[in-house]
Amino acid sequence: MAVSEFDLIRQYFAHATASRDDVVLGIGDDCALLRPVPGQTLAVSIDTLVEGRHFAAGADPQALGHKALAVNLSDLAATGASPAWATLALTLPAADTVWLEAFMQGFAALAGEHRVQLVGGDTTRGPLSITVQVHGFVDAADALRRDAGHSGDRLLVSGTLGDAALALSLASQGKPIDVTLRERLDRPQPRVALGRLLAGRVRAAIDISDGLAADLGHVCVASGVGARLELARLPLTPMVAALALTDDWKAPLSGGDDYELLFSVAPEDVDDLRRVCAVAGEAVTEIGRLVDKPGIELIHPDGHVSKESPDGFDHFRS
């Protein structure tokens, strides 16, 4: 029995998420009609996940639904914005309703946590590809940007680094993976609350999607500074720390998919910032500082210094 595009829209998208007051008209017409918050700035971001590129064929659809939204919410977090609306462009090889049901479960559960309403999208046939666009709000003066770092700023990062990269590396070798490690790869938690807390309080910020070194490199270039990282201070879970003991820093430095926030703080504001984060239950760790000299210097635990070439993931290089 053939399912039409419109059956799919009605069944899986139209009522997937809870309604927001600022949605005048949601799914079902030519355009969604949305009411932006007066006086605030609209923050917009879009990301695509392509089968064979960002995830393996046969990947768990529920995890994909989560991740497709999570990577976008992470961009809003890195801007300090409050999420509001999402659109979803899906290209599917077939109208696989079991797949869609699970995908939308993952998507809707995360959308619900962040009060995001799915307000539109597009559904087409072709090789599996998932594009999500998100919209959020932030005071323009408080918005977090990559170009706002100053030499002398302290560098801080949320959570732990390298877990997703380690999970991916174990998976590609067919080795067993600890559940919590697997979750870090499959179901990243966008640091939306932390981003809102940081808005207006810190200088530069970015979310770590391509690896610490590459994303720090983006901050440095945009801000016209360099950075010095103290590797001994990187927040690592035990399995990643075990690799670091052998001076293997690949997972935390070059591994992508962590979706933690990296940000720079004026030295005089660090103590206050730490207090605010502690009260909010947000784990942040100081890992280095921004310096005048361009490039990234790594201070190893034994004191020797090396240069980091930002070799995070790049679709057109790798």
Helix axes of 179-186 and 61-79: crossing angle, nearest 10 degrees = 70
Strand partners, 102: none
Site string for ligand ADP, 74-103 (x = CB under 6 A): --------------x-x-------------
Return the structure tokens found at 210.
């391509």
Q: How far apart are CA 67 and CA 168, in angstroms?
A: 14
Asked if 64 is part of the footprint of ligand ADP (rule: CB under 6 A), the reply reads no
Residue 123 binding partner per list ligand ADP, Mg ion, none, with a CB distance cut-off of 5 to 8 Å that depends on partner kind:
ligand ADP
Cβ-based nearer residue to ligand ADP, 29 or 302: 29
Buried b (16+ CB within 10 A) or exposed e, 64-100: bbbbbbbbbbbbbbbbbbbbbbbbbbbbbeebeeebb
Q: How far apart are CA 188 and CA 186, in angstroms?
A: 6
Asked if 13 is part of the footprint of ligand ADP (rule: CB under 6 A), the reply reads yes
Q: Would you tell me which residues interact with Mg ion (CB under 5 A)?
A: 122
Show the CA angle centred on residue 281, arms to residues 262 and 162, nearest 5°. Answer: 40
Site string for ligand ADP, 24-63 (x = CB under 6 A): ---xxxx---------------------------------
Of 21-29, 190-198, 223-231, 276-284, the segment contacting ligand ADP by CB under 6 A is 21-29
Residue 7 binding partner per list ligand ADP, Mg ion, none, with a CB distance cut-off of 5 to 8 Å that depends on partner kind:
none
Residue nearest to ligand ADP (CB): 121
Cβ-based nearer residue to ligand ADP, 8 or 299: 8
Among 106, 121, 159, 162, binds ligand ADP (CB under 6 A): 121
Beta strands 82-92 and 117-125 are parallel
Neighbours of 275 (CB within 10 A): 10
Site string for ligand ADP, 247-266 (x = CB under 6 A): --------------------
Size of the site for ligand ADP (CB under 6 A): 13
Nearest to 203, CA basis, from 288, 145, 285, 151: 145
Q: How far apart are CA 141 and CA 12, in angstroms?
A: 38
Stretch (H or E) spanning 33:
strand 33-34
Nearest to 163, CA basis, from 215, 235, 232: 235
Binders in 283-312 for ligand ADP, by CB under 6 A: none
Asked if 268 is part of the footprint of ligand ADP (rule: CB under 6 A), the reply reads no
Q: How far apart are CA 103 and CA 222, in angstroms?
A: 36
Residue 118 binding partner per list Mg ion, ligand ADP, none, with a CB distance cut-off of 5 to 8 Å that depends on partner kind:
ligand ADP
For residue 122, the minimal CB distance to Mg ion (Å) is 5
Residue 236 binding partner per list Mg ion, ligand ADP, none, with a CB distance cut-off of 5 to 8 Å that depends on partner kind:
none
Please report, as a single letter, which amino acid is at residue 293. Answer: K
Cβ-based nearer residue to ligand ADP, 88 or 111: 88
Residue 121 binding partner per list ligand ADP, Mg ion, none, with a CB distance cut-off of 5 to 8 Å that depends on partner kind:
ligand ADP
Q: Which residues in this chain contact ligand ADP in the complex, by CB under 6 A?
A: 9, 13, 27-30, 88, 90, 118, 120-123
